[in-house]
Amino acid sequence: MARFYVLLGPPGAGKGTQAKVIAEKYGLVHISSGDLFRENLKNQTELGKLAQGFMTRGELVPDDVTIAMVRDRISRPDCKKGALLDGFPRTPAQADALSVMLKEFNSKVELVPLIDVPTQELIERLSGRWTCRAQGHVFHEKFNPPKKAGICDEDGSELYQREDDKKATVENRIKVYTEQTAPLIEYYSSRKILVKIDGTKSIGDVSKELLAAIEKA
């Protein structure tokens, strides 16, 4: 059966960083809804134009649009063995929709690791984050610097600072997370598939804890 995992956690918790590690280790596709939106933005598609304002303000893109985009991605043949979802679902309505679409593939969410990091640390992480233009690899100027400033270690593409990583927008994104996404902790916890991971440790130690949780599931 296909294996689907959902990485949950506030903006800056380390979801993207860890998703790359886990996806590579298990040969799973990494689906980041934020990356999908940014790709659409770059190509100025209708979807990108629609999402732009919400993203700049640090608000959620409406559920119907987001769900349709992820459904389209999950339906592709490369997801037959499963996928690691990063940044989706972000609302209970999205979580319900995910469960319905996975049922269509005779599958379900296997485990939801919650990467837990206190708010104070999130602001420092996001204000020093550098993102790769080509494939969304992430670095941090202090905590995980690239070998060469401004260049991605993995694919040599340019690194840039996201517009929505500015302090004012970050604060709004954290508020939006608390109000609209944090209810998913109870949602998945009541379904007995949530596992809490201490996200304040080093990147390597968080990976170890995550891999151990997946092995145990």
Q: Which residues are catalytically annotated?
A: 15, 90, 129, 162, 173
To the nearest whole angstrom, how small is the minimum distance from the Cβ of residue 135 to ligand ADP?
13
Nearest approach, Cβ of residue 78 and ligand ADP (Å):
20
Q: Of 110 and 141, which has the nearer Cβ to ligand ADP?
A: 141
Q: How far apart are CA 44 and CA 122, in angstroms?
A: 30
Q: Alpha-carbon distance 29 to 167, whole Å? A: 31
CA 128, CA 172: separation in Å to the nearest integer? 17
- Positions that interact with ligand ADP (CB under 6 A): 9, 11-17, 33-34, 37, 54-55, 58-61, 66, 87-88, 90, 94, 125, 128-129, 138-140, 143-144, 164, 173, 202-203, 206
CA-based nearest residue to 137, from 24, 1, 8: 24
In whole angstroms, the minimum distance from the beta carbon of 51 to ligand ADP comes to: 7
Which of residues 126 and 214 has its CB atom nearest to ligand ADP in the complex?
A: 126
Tell me the residue nearest to ligand ADP as measured from the CB.
Answer: 34
Bridge-based pairing state of the strands 109-116 and 3-7: parallel
Nearest to 89 by CA among 144, 8, 164: 8
Tokens 């007995």, residue located: 192
Ramachandran region, residue 86 (left: φ > 0; alpha: ψ -120 to 50; beta: rest):
beta
- Give 82 or 87: the residue with its C-beta nearer to ligand ADP: 87
Cβ of residue 90: shortest distance to ligand ADP, in angstroms?
4
Question: 20 or 82: whose CB is closer to ligand ADP?
Answer: 20
Residue 58, beta-bridge partner list: none
